[in-house]
Structure 1
Amino acid sequence: MTSYTSCFKPSLLSRAVLSALLIPASVTAFAQEEDSSRVRDLGAVVVTGSLIPQTEIETATPVMVISAEDIQMRGFQSVADVLQQASFATGGIQGGQTSASFTQGAEAASMFGLDPGYTKYLINGRPMANYPALYNGSDVFNNISGIPVALIERIEILPGGQSSLYGSDAIAGVVNVILKKGVDQGEFSVRGGFFSEGGGNSLRFTFADSYSGMDGRLNSLLGIQLDDRAPIWGYQRKLSSTYNFDGYSTAVPSRDFVVIDALDSTYVFPDPNNCANTTGNFKGTTQQFTRAGFGTYCGSFISPGYRTIRNGKESAQLYSYTTFDLSDTTQLYAEVMGLYEKVEYATGSSYTWWGTSSTFGAYYDPRYPDTLLNLQRAFAPEDIGGKGYRDIMNTDTNKALTVTFGANGQIGEWDYNAYVSRAEYRLTENSWVRFRDPVDNFFIDKVLGPQQGWDPFYGAYPVFTPDYAAFYSPLTPEEFWSFSGFVDNKSRTWDNLAHIQLTNSSLFSLPGGDAGFAVVAEVGNEGWDYSPDSRMIEDPDTLVSEIWGQTAVSGAGHRSRYAVTSELRLPLFNTLTVSASARYDAFDIAGETVDKPTWSLGVEYRPVESLLLRGKVGTAFRAPSLADAFQGISGYYSSVTDYYRCSLDGYLPGDTDDCNWDNEQYFGQSSGNPDLQPIEADVWNAGVVWSPTAKLSFAVDYYSWKIENEVDSIGADDLMRGEYYCRTGAAGSPIAACDDILTWVRRDANGELVSLYTPKVNIAKQELEVVTASMNYMLDIGRFGSLAFSGNYTNKISHKLWSTPESEAVDLMRDPYYMWYYDSYSKTRTDASVAWSLGDWTTTLYANRIGSTPNYLAYAQGYGYEHSSGQKGAKWGPYVTYNASVNWRATDDLTFSLMVNNLTNKMPDHQAENYPGTSSTPWNNYYYDILGRAVYLEAKYTFGAK
């Protein structure tokens, strides 16, 4: 294997930064280092953000490093914990607390509030395979749940656009998870944990050992991580166990049995037994209630508790890295990563119900001659039988395998690294469903009775005379399972990649040192296939599937790609280094070539030994994803203003409140678009790093993004406005070509709106400005040991969004509605830690601070709004949680650890008073969690010293 050596003397700045990297939160190494001048000789190393090995740790590209010791001592249990609590994670994400999200079984992170798919994830410098299911039903992303956290050496995070080195997706930044290549001693650890509030018990086993043979020419690491954790149910936490009793309005129970007037949304109560037959449901809590202004129904306060707020999980992760020294200048290597993970979750009673609206729209009962009606009833645990909701949990089974074979070494003055890699990710979503015909026929036979014609108002709704006593009655488990069961949606992604890199760290000499050059060539192909259960696919004639209330998105496609990258690093003077990189990417999508060149130029200026001024400017992009291009047609129902028909009656856009066509129902369809162009971004950053001593360093950096051609589905309102412009010739810019718009808006022979087609198009743009700061300080306190301080801070100065080219900018940092709607942004976020080491003991206190965010009334009504209860539309104050840990090295081979996360058992329970009593989730579940205090105990044993 190529060995890089250097005779240079590390600068003060390099020593300070290197010390921070080598001596993380645990400060164990620092406690053993008596003389700070004896920092190990720093040879040329490869730092994420550059292809060229170099001697300076801090460059024009800021890098945040989270070491294995940081992960251990700060109590992080997974890669998701690490990234979701990082200071750059200023945007909320969908996950285990967001019931019925499209990827509830996966884990993601948002860098600076940008979409999860805008971050490039690497493992050992190679791209991760995409998750087969789509984030929010439309976007490709990486599931970071299956990375073996106990086998990580470090995680390197590069904020800012990095496409000139890493290609597509690296708009927000790059996360490189670097796994161990070997261990000095075999390791076995066992970790168990529990939550003080109940639920979520977990157990983790980790094994890692290295093998060496053939006189040291063959070296191999094998690592295994096994995890088992129980789910946390809503009823195990106060905030999620009931409807909101602490809100600004009276708590209102669920509508478990209700008959709704379809014309004015009030309730009819035809139960002859006044809910007496329903009282056994939800543990005997279902009763008769009257909601002011609406009417009487049967419901329960505790039904929200029957959902999971944290997924259960069983997983096995395998990792192996093997090298063989073929000669003094050539090394072969092989890497294998395998994942088997089963995640289970329940979406809750709000998504476990039946009603007439889905099938019939409404029905007419002659006994109520002045209106149309709808039945609606939830299914209780007693209806399900057995273990209740535990018997209808959804299960996502993940199977992933990545295999890499490569060689690296030297050819003359050039170093090379070449590999081929195959990654495949398979997902099976086993979901509980109601089968359309069986469930409708069951309630027709039991409740509705035979159809008796069509309604007298419109001639479009069926006439029934229901048996309401039968409707207000529980089911037997046999009846429940006669119309429900499970379906399997299967999907997969695969990615083949061949990569070769040539590097010369001493291309020629300059006054400041040797110039470095690297060139990379890549070629590969990738595919995506989402194949739902055939019963979930819509019938093209009826526009419904065999599953009641649900359809599924299908799609499949593949693309080939190639790329060429180069980087040049020029130390012009001892104080000035310039680096430049350029990359050309090309994709073959559906027979069409989509290509994009990107570039960057970086400057590092060191006027004195301890000070670095840096800056970088360039471009970034994201190619149309396979889902964007090949996602199949999916349907939905909604309503929209028919601007064209309103204009015929004299009502123009902006003045349609009194128009008869102001709220027209339609059937919508959306799909991918193979003609999409890349998302483009202009990016730059500038900053300063100062290290007044070898033990102290500060860094401040500014980042700017201008992102254009973002992919989004055309909004129904924009499409209808466009049709109005196209048909009338009125002043205004349609969202797409008029020929397309008039095809996408379907009307019947009478001009009634029938359906809309809203494909994905390049229409949106956004601009973002961010400032980050970091600090590291190490203090030797003599016989009392040593202390290490670390802190990171992010401030989003500005974030503006244009949803269409003609729309006005939305200020996502100041408009509370959009600040909440787009995944709940926080303006600032901070993390900090202090670690103390003394002899065989190390301890760390870690703090994480979320800055102010809009409260619910600000989101719903705006800042300054005041409810009659006294609650106001304002901001929630900063939210701080603490983790603490203690490590004790009992013997040379045995270490015990105690970790307490959320030490003070902090909960966002104060948020409930700003939500109405109708809320079942009275906290911002995109950004705050209600898991509470977690305690973990670990024992780690090392063996077989080498």
Structure 2
Amino acid sequence: MKNITFRKSLTAAAVAASLGFPALAVAQDAQEDSSAEQVERIQVTGSRIKRVDLEGASPVQVITAEDFNEQGRVSVADALRNVTANSFGSFIPSSGSSAQSQSTVSLLGAGSDRTLILLDGKRMAGSPSLGGASVNLSSIPMAAIERIEILKDGASAVYGSDAIAGVINIILKKDYEGASFSVQVGRPEADGADTRQLSFSTGITSDKGSITFVYDHQERGAIFDKAREYTAPSMEDTNGDGLISIYDETVGISYYGATLENPDGGLAASAICGDLTANVDGFVGVLDQGSALGGVGGGEVCGFAYAGVSANQASTNRDSVMTSAQYDINENLELFARGMFSRNDSFGRYAPPAAPWDGVPADSEHNSFGEPVDGYFRWHEIGNRDGEVTDYQQDYMVGLRGYFGETAEWEVSYHKARLDYRSVGRYYLSYAGLYTNEYFDIPLGSEEGVDNMRSTIYTENVNDFEHISAGIGWSFGELSGGLIQHYFGGEFYDQEFASKYDAQSEAGLIGGSAGNSAVGQRDTTAFFYEASLPVTDQINVSAAYRWDDYSDFGSQGTPSVKAEYRPNEDLLIRASWSEGFRAPSLSELLASTSFSATFATDYVACRDNGIAAADCPERQFDNLIESNKNLGPEESTYINVGAVYSGIDNLSIKVDYFDLEVDNVISEITVQSLINAEYGGVLDQLESNYPGVQLNRAPDGSVEGDVITRSENGSFLSRKGFDVDVEYGIESDYGLFEVGLVTTYLTETGEDVYFGGPTQDFTNGPGTPEWRSQLTLNYFVGDFSINWNTDAIASTAEDSVLDIADGNPENFRYAFSNHNGTYITHNLNLVYDAGNIGRFNIGARNLFDKGVIKDDAGFWVDDTLYNAGHIGREFYAGYSIDF
């Protein structure tokens, strides 16, 4: 029978072992003697100073490899996506872009670029497909992980940039003895997203050191739009007016089919729309223009059902190898090294390219106006667009660790990573080929014409990252509570980032694609100092300061102060205050201007056309996005106050209050920001403050030309709330019961209504839940275990409407209404340990087949929060054996 205390003390031993220091029977000492003289000091994420207690001034949540198995998680990204502190805003593999292989995590919903990811305590290089600012979790082999530590506190004073909303430290296996093999397959009831996993681990240890090797393979299939009833193409006259309005009354259908601009205003369907509908798969006939395209009646479009062929979730297929080694050169000097290589292949599909055709000739079969007009076409002759992404990631580290004197420990290391992400897109429209066909009168639908128009696009994203670090910890001075601990160190980073698009894409000669290159380099030098002062046996105060100097924008200093008070051995009261910062990414500083078809709600056009804000639909706008070489760092303040109680056997209760505020937030002045500012009468002021940013309107009130946007310092962000973590175990003659409940509750989710404008609490708004909770129930008896895991997400609003009733832009607010219910999914895992034969497990993710969230019109609310519902009920079975 298992014992709760023993399991927790084993975790302490694992922490010590993972850092390469002798565990000295931590598990045994933790049970027999809890005094500082008898228990090995360990290092916990958030501090470089080793300590006796796992619980300190900052809350740290630990997820072990055993937890992964018990919860039935598929990958590192899957496990972290379901952490309650990952409130909202993370990224999952989505078909159709160079970032379709990416997964991220966003603690407190503050953004993935404000969550620092560490690997064995060292900063991971950011994904070049995400501008080098965020880490791609899809690159991390799950089988190589021993545990993950999630620091729920600011930590720039220790780690530097990005540690604003918290830190995730991924600890890899070390000192592994023996060999193990595991395999698992999973199959959702609905089509798509099948999973396969296979891993092999082996290692040897001796008195002089150890070496560990891990191979990990993971794959998940794509989900096609047509495989789900709510994403499959459909259209219906829901309001009974005899017309079907594009976007308002359709799913998965675009006006980019065969649609022309009517010289008299509005849009018009191609003259051969009927023939296309009868003879070409995907065309659905003539539909009403509707208000979504900026007009109010009169216009028609020729629609195309792109969802009949497109994938909305990309497939992923990853192979990873990790090896780590440690060798004791002598009793005071240790060599350690690690190498990791991964390759991740991803496939996504889009419908044939959707691209404008400027100047459709007057004699074209599509054109009935007798003069050249512009059009919006689906170039079906070219074929479906396929996106193939291959991510190569190499990560190496080597270092020395030593000891001298009675208390001093030092470490120096060299860390290098190279991330080479390549994307190929097949069957895009070449405008050069289209113009060639027009010039030489080559029929567009002929074999020669199609060959001329077909184009393959290519993107190469590379991030080279080098990191040298050194530090020393020692004891000097004494207070009534014991010796004062010190740590001093320095780091040097060098980053070279390049995102290179093919020349035709950069020149704007590709239809159905967008993007521009960015190349840059920066180096960073940092020094940091930390001290832990045991004021009394009950009170410990620690302080840290870090200074970072960047080659491109300057320097930044960040302090922190933390305190612990232990009135007795069962209660810890803690508090922390820290400042943090985020450096602008190289892509934000240096990227070339790129084009995007950006969705926004044009409240101004709707108001001018008598359409209520609540009925104003989203639509796409042509958007040129500029970089900004003058960006400076964001600056943050994080306050945490909490308590930990463990006065009842096998019970632990943790409650923490957090308060995060970020000033000078680097944020894009989006199309929606500009529209909102115009709606409030302050657009001229905003454009004056940020010259070059612009939104222009034609005399008829429609947005004219490209909306020009860029990122600036000046927004505001805040997150306030509570973290509650309760664990309890019950030992009985009938087995061991374990209960765990973790909840993150947001009392404030503050952001700007428009850039630099008034702030609003967006809690309970669309995609912004007030709380997330995770309940785990484990039962162990004999060779069997039953593990039940429940993920719950609070109700969120379906509708969000800009409200400026009193006409004062300073009172801008989004009004939320029509809330969806609490979203709950259950996961079940059954395990039988057959000893030497191996371990068998079966289970179901999303056991009760909780579906996706739909709005009142029956449309899917596409949100990563509810991705379990999109995959559906998934059964899986696995087998593992240790040798």
TM bracket (short chain): 0.7 to 0.9
Q: Comparing both structures, which one devotes a greater share of its residues to strand?
A: 2
Structure 1 residues without counterparts, runs of 5 or longer:
1-12, 25-32, 451-469, 539-544, 643-651, 659-664, 865-871
Q: Determine if contact 1:813/1:827 at 8 Å carries over to the other structure.
A: yes
* 2:657 aligned residue: 702
Q: Separation in 1 of the partners of 2:28 and 2:147?
A: 25
* 1:912 aligned residue: 854
Letter of the 1:763 partner, please give it. G
Aligned-pair distance for 1:486? 1.8
Cα distance change, pair 780–687 in 1 and its aligned pair in 2 (3 A)? same
Q: Which stretch of the first structure deviates more once superposed, 887-896 or 254-263?
A: 254-263
Q: Separation in 1 of the partners of 2:480 and 2:236?
A: 72
Aligned-pair distance for 1:892? 2.9
Aligned-pair distance for 1:744? 8.4
Q: Separation in 2 of the partners of 1:904 and 1:668?
A: 42
* 1:576 aligned residue: 539
Aligned-pair distance for 1:579? 1.0
Of 781, 787, 791, which aligns to 2:737? 787
Q: Determine if contact 1:582/1:597 at 8 Å carries over to the other structure.
A: yes
Cα distance change, pair 353–478 in 1 and its aligned pair in 2 (3 A)? farther
* 1:552 aligned residue: 515
Q: Determine if contact 1:561/1:585 at 8 Å carries over to the other structure.
A: yes
* 1:645 aligned residue: none
Q: Determine if contact 2:598/2:671 at 8 Å carries over to the other structure.
A: no
Deviation sequence 1:867-908 (CA, Å, 0-9, x none): xxxxx9411010000111111111235111213111111112
Deviation sequence 1:516-563 (CA, Å, 0-9, x none): 11112111211111111111113xxxxxx2212433121111111111
Of 119, 125, 150, which aligns to 2:115? 119
* 1:902 aligned residue: 846
* 2:728 aligned residue: 777
Residues 358-397 of structure 1: pairs in structure 2 closer than 5 A: 359-360=358-359, 374-378=374-378, 383=381, 389=384, 392-397=385-390
Residues 71-220 of structure 1: pairs in structure 2 closer than 5 A: 71-97=68-94, 99-100=95-96, 103-134=99-130, 140-212=133-205, 216-220=207-211
Of 790, 805, 813, which aligns to 2:763? 813
Percent of residue pairs bearing the same amino acid type: 21
Q: Which stretch of the first structure deviates more once superposed, 430-439 or 361-370?
A: 361-370
Residues 753-768 of structure 1: pairs in structure 2 closer than 5 A: 758-768=709-719
Letter of the 2:140 partner, please give it. I
Cα distance change, pair 767–69 in 1 and its aligned pair in 2 (3 A)? same
Of 434, 451, 454, which aligns to 1:484? 454
Aligned: 1:940 with 2:880: yes
* 1:832 aligned residue: 775
Aligned-pair distance for 1:779? 0.8
Q: Separation in 2 of the partners of 1:221 and 1:184?
A: 8
Of 55, 58, 68, which aligns to 1:58? 55
Secondary structure of 1:741's counterpart equals coil
Aligned: 1:421 with 2:415: yes
Of 20, 24, 40, which aligns to 1:43? 40
Cα distance change, pair 862–14 in 1 and its aligned pair in 2 (3 A)? farther
Aligned: 1:70 with 2:67: yes
Cα distance change, pair 15–888 in 1 and its aligned pair in 2 (3 A)? closer
Of 227, 237, 262, which aligns to 1:236? 227
Of 483, 486, 507, which aligns to 1:517? 486
Q: Determine if contact 1:707/1:765 at 8 Å carries over to the other structure.
A: yes
Aligned-pair distance for 1:246? 11
Deviation sequence 1:497-523 (CA, Å, 0-9, x none): 11111112x433332233211112111
Q: Separation in 1 of the partners of 2:105 and 2:310?
A: 23
* 1:401 aligned residue: 394
Aligned-pair distance for 1:86? 0.7
Q: Which stretch of the first structure deviates more once superposed, 233-242 or 925-934?
A: 925-934
Aligned: 1:566 with 2:526: no
* 2:293 aligned residue: none
RMSD: 4.2
* 1:324 aligned residue: 327
Deviation sequence 1:556-615 (CA, Å, 0-9, x none): 1111111111111112112211111111111111xxx51111111111111122111110
Q: Which stretch of the first structure deviates more once superposed, 180-189 or 428-437?
A: 428-437
Q: Separation in 2 of the partners of 1:683 and 1:764?
A: 17
Letter of the 2:278 partner, please give it. T
Letter of the 1:934 partner, please give it. E
* 1:315 aligned residue: 318
Letter of the 2:457 partner, please give it. V
Aligned-pair distance for 1:198? 2.2
- The count of residues paired between Structure 1 and Structure 2 equals 822
Cα distance change, pair 16–690 in 1 and its aligned pair in 2 (3 A)? farther
Aligned: 1:599 with 2:559: yes
Aligned: 1:493 with 2:463: yes
Q: Separation in 1 of the partners of 2:287 and 2:417?
A: 57
Secondary structure of 1:859's counterpart equals strand
Aligned-pair distance for 1:441? 3.9
Aligned-pair distance for 1:785? 1.1
* 1:275 aligned residue: 274
Secondary structure of 2:800's counterpart equals helix
Letter of the 1:776 partner, please give it. E
Structure 2 residues without counterparts, runs of 5 or longer:
16-26, 291-296, 611-619, 698-702, 806-815
Q: Determine if contact 1:131/1:425 at 8 Å carries over to the other structure.
A: yes
Q: Determine if contact 2:430/2:455 at 8 Å carries over to the other structure.
A: no
* 1:681 aligned residue: 636
Q: Separation in 2 of the partners of 1:619 and 1:631?
A: 29
Secondary structure of 1:676's counterpart equals coil
Aligned-pair distance for 1:826? 1.4
Q: Separation in 2 of the partners of 1:666 and 1:932?
A: 33
* 1:846 aligned residue: 789
Secondary structure of 1:70's counterpart equals helix
Q: Separation in 2 of the partners of 1:639 and 1:228?
A: 32
Q: Determine if contact 1:397/1:429 at 8 Å carries over to the other structure.
A: yes
Q: Separation in 1 of the partners of 2:821 and 2:525?
A: 48
Letter of the 1:492 partner, please give it. V
Q: Which stretch of the first structure deviates more once superposed, 407-416 or 478-487?
A: 478-487
Q: Separation in 1 of the partners of 2:753 and 2:797?
A: 21
Q: Separation in 2 of the partners of 1:786 and 1:722?
A: 59
Aligned-pair distance for 1:95? 2.9
Aligned-pair distance for 1:941? 1.9
What TM-score, normalized by structure 2, do the two folds share?
0.84
* 1:8 aligned residue: none
Aligned: 1:617 with 2:598: no
Secondary structure of 2:551's counterpart equals strand
Q: Determine if contact 1:261/1:372 at 8 Å carries over to the other structure.
A: no
What TM-score, normalized by structure 1, do the two folds share?
0.78
Q: Determine if contact 2:409/2:473 at 8 Å carries over to the other structure.
A: yes
Q: Separation in 2 of the partners of 1:65 and 1:377?
A: 52
Secondary structure of 1:790's counterpart equals strand
Deviation sequence 1:315-349 (CA, Å, 0-9, x none): 21111111111000100111101111111112x33
Q: Determine if contact 2:650/2:730 at 8 Å carries over to the other structure.
A: yes
Aligned-pair distance for 1:363? 7.4
* 1:877 aligned residue: 821
Cα distance change, pair 859–715 in 1 and its aligned pair in 2 (3 A)? closer
Q: Separation in 2 of the partners of 1:247 and 1:861?
A: 25
Letter of the 2:751 partner, please give it. L
Q: Separation in 2 of the partners of 1:160 and 1:668?
A: 37
Cα distance change, pair 53–884 in 1 and its aligned pair in 2 (3 A)? same
Secondary structure of 1:892's counterpart equals helix
Larger radius of gyration: 1
Letter of the 2:65 partner, please give it. A
Of 628, 645, 649, which aligns to 1:690? 645
Q: Separation in 2 of the partners of 1:568 and 1:35?
A: 26
* Higher relative contact order, structure no. (Cα contacts within 8 Å, ≥ 6 residues apart): 1
Secondary structure of 1:914's counterpart equals coil
